[in-house]
Structure 1
Amino acid sequence: MTHALGSGKSRLWLASAAGALAIGLTSAASAQEVQAAAADEAVEGGIGEIVVTAQKRDQSVQDVGITMSVLSSEALANGGVTSVTDITGMVPNVQANYGAGQVAFNVRGIGTNEFSANLDSPIAVNLDEVYLSKTFMTGLLLFDVDRVEVLKGPQGTLFGRNATGGTVNFFSRRPQAEFGAGANVSYDNYRTVRSEAYVTGPLGGDFSARLSGLYVNQDKGYYRNLTLDRREGEEKKWALRGQVAWDNGVTNALLTVNAGRQWGTLQPYEGVGIFTPESLADGAPVLCAPYAAGNATAGDPGCVRGTDGLYPGDDDPYTSNNGRLHTVKNKSLGTTLRIEHDLGESTLTSLTSYQHFRRMQHEVSDGSPLETLDVDYYNRINQFTQEVRLTSSGERTWNYVVGAYYEHDDYRNGDYLTVGYGAAPGYYSPFTQKVDALALFFHNDVALTDTLGLTAGVRYSREKVSFDGGTYAGIGRTGSPIRPSTIVATLAEANESRTDDAATFKVGIEWKPVINSASVDKLMLFANASTGFRSGSYNGEFVGSPEALTSLAPEKITAYEAGWKSILFGRSLLFNASIYHYKFTDGFINVDSTTSPIPITINAANISTYGVEFDLQWQPVEQLNFGMGGGWLQSKIDSDISTGGASLKGNRTVQSPRWTYNAQATFTQPLGNDLELALTGDANYRSAQYFETTNSPNSLEPGYWLVNARLALKGPDDRWSVGFFAKNLTKTTYRTYVNDLAAFGFLLNIHGAPRTYGVSASFKL
């Protein structure tokens, strides 16, 4: 099956963008691939510049006309960031959906809560410019990080694939020409040892190297399993990254090899009952009153699960009742070669990468001590990417990037949903999905005057997605990965492919007026319009009929944004703000199916989004730094889609709180003898949000605050430090994942981490 991405409109947009390109309508406003080099050169007595490479060249973040957040390694350390989901508390209008070992970001109401691992997220994740296509590939990358950049809005011109709602970019530290080494280690109240270390330096000649690693061993999980009488949810993993760099002044190359493993137990589900015990015993289940009212808890004996007629028995979110543990055996291996050659007027860059990730997990899907519903996940991705681009050198009147991109994904799925631990027929979904994606892109900007700049970019993409396999009814359990002993029926099967074309563009304008005022150091006003798409795919997970095995056309988005960036009062205050509007069509959305045990994904959603954001940094005195950001968001479904007999029109999109807010403050006090005491605190708030597109009352999470703090004693030139930290200082209880499975007779919750506190130490040579 072949679909063209809005063929008529695409050609119109392509012609418009090409016309803009032909007359050079471009400016340094399009931060499509913001690789912020998060700069450290502070301006004495004021806020330092942050340098980004938005158009593949160095620019101040205040000169790039797009909303973005740049989190330096120092900001990540002060905020106690230890997982990719932690960064959401530092950036407004960004959420993360964590469930079954997958992390899917949601930016400004655009995100995903799909169950199937073969469906790529509309928020792209990149590590050192390498795109990671699957949501389960992020668990082993957050170490030896130089910075994290969050770009909002479509980033298709330079970033390309699946950047419909934005990108989250991670950048690791690189080898240094001088010897250096360092480490940090922490220990908390759940007996978690978390350590990082690195060594870097010259190898001789034009070569240098860096070796860094991460080791995490949590001996006491957050959860008490009452059935098995043990702790559960221990985080255990290691990762290594080796880099060798070569630079002769004209050509430089960087070879990176990374590997990692994750094992132990995952967070279990809290399986909450939804039926009255009497009605379930009579064979005619009736919803219990607390569930119908949207306030069902695990401690109400009047609400039992439909699978076993039991209830967990308490309201402690950190107890579980699984008869088996949620286990994980993930591993990753990859290599990337980056080559840059200086041609004088331009730079030629080649980026070649191969990434492998294998996910093996077991979950008790109903949170029950009985062997009713379990899922064994097996997902494997082999991904090859190649990008070649030519970038103009320096800062000129006309700047450009032109290039080509290719990606090949070889994905294998082998998930098995068992009933009675294989005693009754379950759902087995073995299939392969392959992707061949090719893109050509051109992006340029021109300074029309000293204060006015225009920008335009266009990208043409062509992708072929093939699917081979399906879902089968099977009994028994055998092998590794786990699969049925016997196949008893074919439920849905397909061997087909689809090819999609997409033309995406961005046009924008920047104005940097010269203001003769002691209060205004720098000011920029910007506005832009852009489009993006999310790749087509197949809904092939646990489908119970051929009709449920759907072919999905690409999602499409048109976005408009305007705002300003300013530095004020002798560089003591930075204040940025923006307003935006998105129109999203053909969105992937989950609806109930009478033949499938889980909701199926279809192409049906039109979504509209409006919002406002601001970012403020203030340095009133040298010893005090204060920052905060906030956002208001209105994101709703416009399509008249029905699921479970109810229309979704007008419903809020998942994980889209109307209000988000974050604040951070750091105060340093010299103590003499080159010692320094540093106190850091941060807080973030998000208002009520839904975790289901049905907006069911039980999927509504009320608003909550999270507060963290850190106190550290630092030695001369930050060569060492010792400190104390606390996360979730106020012991807030909140959910990070909700799956309202009324058809199965239970509600699944995963809760965020409880209060943790401990000590940390670091040193560097």
Structure 2
Amino acid sequence: MKLISKTQITLALLGSTALMSQVAIAAELDEIVVTATKRSVNIQSVPISVTAITSEQLDDFEISAIKDLAVLTPGLQMAQRSSTWTPYIRGIGTQETAAGTEAGVSTYIDGVYLSSPWGASLAFNNIERVEVLKGPQGTLFGRNATGGLVHIITRDPQQETLVKGKVGYGNYDTAIAQLYATTGLSENLSADIAINYRKQSKGFGTNVTTGERLDGDKDFGIRSKFLFEKGDVRLTLAGDYSKHDSAQGDNRALRPGSITPIIPGVLEFGALPGFQDVQLDTNPLSQTENFGGSLTFELARNNFDFKSISAYREARNDSLFDNDGIPIPLVSVLANVDVDTFTQEVQLTSNSNERLHWIVGAFYMKDDNGYSEPRGLNIYGGAFAPAGIGGQGLIHRVATNSISAYGELAYDLSDATTLTGGLRYTRDKKTLSGVTDIYAADESLIATIPTPEVSEVWSEPTWRLVLSHEIDDNRMVYASYNRGFRSGAYNTVSITGVPVDPEIADAFEVGFKSDLLDNRLRFNTAAYYTDYSGLQIAVTRGINTLLLNAGSAKIYGLEVEGQFAATDDLTLVFGLNLMNTEYSEFAAQVGCTDQVGGITIGIVCDPQGNELQRAPATTFNLGFNYEKTVSFGTIGASANYYFSDEFFWEFDNRVKEDSYGVLNGRISWRNKNDSYGISAYARNLTDTEYASFFVAQASLNDQFTAAPPRTYGIELNFNF
């Protein structure tokens, strides 16, 4: 794989910034307000490890979707599975996206929980900021936030009329267009609309079987808010729709040495012309649609604030993918996922200046999550099919009813010291039902086998305890203990009827936050230790993936994050995560894989002592943003380098991803009154080759999906 030296990149960035740092006078860093504690608070006053990325930083560092957040977030990694992106924070996450499986890292948008990863592939347009909370958030957020959570906050409508947007064109025949508009409709009512369009007409590689270029990527999204404000009442109605057509996450190529030799006429991996090329019997297709709406009611009183968030969301995905990664119709899958979710949350928050601050609330979720393969699972089809069998179809659903209540108290022991305690109690009920259809070779139905309906109830308390101390107005320290839990689950692809029990995380953290050098340097650091029990692991059995409770794991690490306003025009950003992970206990008879004669086979192993999946020992980012006002407008330049140390794709630690680095950059110009401008961007400037997804399929082969190569383009911006 192509790599660029970490030292070269670091020296290049520091050298370029040093040349631009001749101006001695520097501005202060802006205050960032976050809602990590469900209150609007300065990020430097929150005793939580949290990264906040502002709308300006999203533009400056070319972060256009949730998948790009890792380049500015220490401890965060993103994994691509099919058309979804799933986050890992501090070594915790999941690549399993089957119905009813919930992530170890939660995703929220404007306080609304997204229950399915199919609903989290969001393009960024009207974003105010993104908050990434690290470690278990078991009290105020609670649901499935054992690793942490990603919270996307969109802009609110304004009374003042504003229209802004951009159009652009890039390589691989990529066209983009974005529009955001807001205005007042009356004295108390304002509205906005955000539209996003992106079409990549050419795929990154070629299917050498057909000689055709792979399909590209197409995004369309629209989102709107209506905001009513009068006196103490604030009412927000929001709705959104998005459609994503892409198969890039299913363009699977064989890993070197994993080719199945018993099938003649299949090229060895090394014979493929390029890293992005594949050899499939059919080009994969994937279409995802999301629809949602929410109503937020807020009422301010003398001593407390009341808030209610009611939301309904739908997610649909239809996929056709070649599951074997070879040009013979051996294993292909036509799969459908549909998710319907209703959530309701209410909360009361104190707003007085007393020493005791409190928040209480309740949360309810009703989720119906379905997975089906209508005649879609062509296992060893064609000449390899068992006599008389043409495939099977699955229709399975998981219904979830969840209710929880929570409360948190913060007491000021002194003007500088605060003790915070929180408790949440959650009750989940999940029900599995469905059928399996068996088809003949002529696609006629042979038999329908019902899945007996089964249910399971899980009830878990989670809590939070924090002691924080403000050394002075610009420095604070804290120590915290948090317990989080990830809900139990049923496997809907490999039906066993046996539930997977909840995952429990106990996390201990000490942190230091500071604004130094007259608020020019923001330096935050945290040391953490997490003990996981009942760890849910995605295990490949045959061609399917299922969850198992694997045992226990221990994680400890150190995180550093900050910004430095070197001059009025130049700001540096930096982040570092050092982490050690280990499976301290592991259940016997697990489904590990090995290579025998070029075939991936399932074996029994003991992964105790292995590193966790997607848990690199070192990740860091280093970047700068430079803006200078000149006689003909404002010129800008920004760059960011992200480095990931080597890591293992699976719990058996057999397949390792080498260390890699990704460099992104942008240059821009805006006219004097900021009404229009032009910019040029490049992502993965050094064309580093690395994988964004890997799967080992017992009795078949190892496959990976290549991450995007170097992309670049120009954009025209307008603002009036």
Q: TM-score, normalised by structure 1?
A: 0.85
Q: Which moved more, 1:317-326 or 1:598-607?
A: 598-607
Q: Which residue of 1 aligns with 2:369?
A: 411
Q: Which residue of 1 aligns with 2:652?
A: 694
Q: Which residue of 2 aligns with 1:102?
A: 84
Measured in 1, the distance between the counterparts of 2:251 and 2:698 equals 15
Assess if the C-alpha contact under 8 Å between 2:298 and 2:305 holds in 1: yes
Aligned match of 1:188 in 170, 174, 190?
Answer: 170
Q: Which residue of 2 aligns with 1:735?
A: 691
Whether 1:620 aligns to 2:566 is yes
Whether 1:527 aligns to 2:479 is yes
Shift of 1:236: 0.7
Assess if the C-alpha contact under 8 Å between 1:144 and 1:196 holds in 2: no
SS of structure 1 residue aligned to 2:69: helix
Aligned match of 1:432 in 381, 387, 397?
Answer: 397
Measured in 1, the distance between the counterparts of 2:393 and 2:142 equals 33
Q: Would you identify which runs of 4 or more consecutive aligned residues in structure 1 move more than 6 Å? A: none
Q: Which residue of 1 aligns with 2:10?
A: none
SS of structure 1 residue aligned to 2:70: helix
Aligned match of 2:186 in 180, 196, 204?
Answer: 204
Assess if the C-alpha contact under 8 Å between 1:471 and 1:542 holds in 2: no
SS of structure 1 residue aligned to 2:451: strand
Aligned match of 2:706 in 710, 727, 751?
Answer: 751
Measured in 1, the distance between the counterparts of 2:339 and 2:262 equals 36
Q: What amino acid is the match of 1:93?
A: G
Shift of 1:604: 2.6
Q: Which residue of 1 aligns with 2:360?
A: 402
Q: Which residue of 2 aligns with 1:660?
A: 619
Shift of 1:95: 0.8
Q: Which residue of 2 aligns with 1:179?
A: 161
SS of structure 2 residue aligned to 1:195: strand
Q: Which residue of 1 aligns with 2:75?
A: 93
Measured in 2, the distance between the counterparts of 1:551 and 1:638 equals 23
Q: Which moved more, 1:414-423 or 1:179-188?
A: 414-423
Q: Deviations over 1:118-154 (max 9, x none)?
A: 2100100001110001111112453311111100011
Assess if the C-alpha contact under 8 Å between 1:232 and 1:268 holds in 2: no
SS of structure 2 residue aligned to 1:149: strand
Q: Which moved more, 1:613-622 or 1:717-726?
A: 717-726
Shift of 1:476: 5.9
In structure 1, list runs of 5 or more residues that go unmatched.
1-42, 274-289, 297-302, 478-483, 515-520
Q: Which residue of 2 aligns with 1:27?
A: none
Assess if the C-alpha contact under 8 Å between 2:482 and 2:507 holds in 1: yes
In structure 2, list runs of 5 or more residues that go unmatched.
1-24, 592-602
Shift of 1:263: 2.3
Shift of 1:597: 3.5
Whether 1:385 aligns to 2:356 is no
SS of structure 2 residue aligned to 1:366: coil
Note closer, same or farther for the CA distance 1:464–1:270 as it changes in structure 2 (3 Å cut).
closer
Q: Which residue of 1 aligns with 2:413?
A: 448
Assess if the C-alpha contact under 8 Å between 1:259 and 1:332 holds in 2: yes
Q: Which residue of 2 aligns with 1:713?
A: 669
Q: Which residue of 2 aligns with 1:601?
A: 547
Measured in 2, the distance between the counterparts of 1:396 and 1:715 equals 49
Measured on the aligned residues, the alpha-carbon RMSD in Å equals 2.0
Q: Which moved more, 1:229-238 or 1:352-361?
A: 229-238
Measured in 2, the distance between the counterparts of 1:103 and 1:475 equals 36
Q: Which residue of 1 aligns with 2:586?
A: 640
Shift of 1:605: 2.3
Shift of 1:218: 1.0
Q: How does 1:235-246 map to 2 (within 5 A)?
A: 235-246=217-228
Measured in 2, the distance between the counterparts of 1:756 and 1:150 equals 26
Q: Deviations over 1:713-738 (max 9, x none)?
A: 01235332201111111110000111
Q: Deviations over 1:20-45 (max 9, x none)?
A: xxxxxxxxxxxxxxxxxxxxxxx983
Measured in 1, the distance between the counterparts of 2:456 and 2:609 equals 31
Q: Which moved more, 1:252-261 or 1:229-238?
A: 229-238
Q: What amino acid is the match of 1:86?
A: D
Q: Deviations over 1:536-586 (max 9, x none)?
A: 11123134xxxx442111111110000100111111111110100001111
Measured in 2, the distance between the counterparts of 1:700 and 1:549 equals 33
Q: Which residue of 1 aligns with 2:451?
A: 493
Aligned match of 2:152 in 150, 166, 170?
Answer: 170
Q: How does 1:346-357 map to 2 (within 5 A)?
A: 346-357=304-315
Note closer, same or farther for the CA distance 1:76–1:506 as it changes in structure 2 (3 Å cut).
same
Measured in 1, the distance between the counterparts of 2:416 and 2:58 equals 35
Measured in 2, the distance between the counterparts of 1:402 and 1:305 equals 62
Q: Which residue of 2 aligns with 1:122?
A: 104
Q: Which residue of 2 aligns with 1:260?
A: 242
Q: Which residue of 2 aligns with 1:153?
A: 135
Whether 1:360 aligns to 2:318 is yes
Measured in 1, the distance between the counterparts of 2:501 and 2:673 equals 55
SS of structure 2 residue aligned to 1:85: helix
Q: What amino acid is the match of 1:601?
A: L
Note closer, same or farther for the CA distance 1:304–1:413 as it changes in structure 2 (3 Å cut).
closer
Note closer, same or farther for the CA distance 1:307–1:558 as it changes in structure 2 (3 Å cut).
farther
Assess if the C-alpha contact under 8 Å between 1:585 and 1:605 holds in 2: yes
Whether 1:504 aligns to 2:462 is yes
Q: What amino acid is the match of 1:80?
A: E
SS of structure 1 residue aligned to 2:248: coil
Q: Percent identity?
A: 26
Assess if the C-alpha contact under 8 Å between 1:687 and 1:702 holds in 2: yes
Measured in 1, the distance between the counterparts of 2:26 and 2:404 equals 44
Q: Which residue of 2 aligns with 1:669?
A: 628
Shift of 1:377: 1.5
Shift of 1:397: 2.0
SS of structure 2 residue aligned to 1:88: helix
Shift of 1:116: 2.4
Measured in 2, the distance between the counterparts of 1:556 and 1:264 equals 35
Q: Deviations over 1:361-399 (max 9, x none)?
A: 110112222211111120101100000111112554221
Shift of 1:430: 1.1
Assess if the C-alpha contact under 8 Å between 2:493 and 2:545 holds in 1: no
Shift of 1:229: 2.5
Whether 1:576 aligns to 2:524 is yes
Measured in 2, the distance between the counterparts of 1:49 and 1:140 equals 26
Q: Which residue of 1 aligns with 2:598?
A: none
Assess if the C-alpha contact under 8 Å between 1:140 and 1:261 holds in 2: no
SS of structure 2 residue aligned to 1:204: coil
Shift of 1:270: 3.6
Count of residue correspondences: 674
Q: Which moved more, 1:420-429 or 1:96-105?
A: 420-429
SS of structure 1 residue aligned to 2:651: coil
Q: What amino acid is the match of 1:248?
A: K
Shift of 1:421: 5.5
Whether 1:630 aligns to 2:603 is no
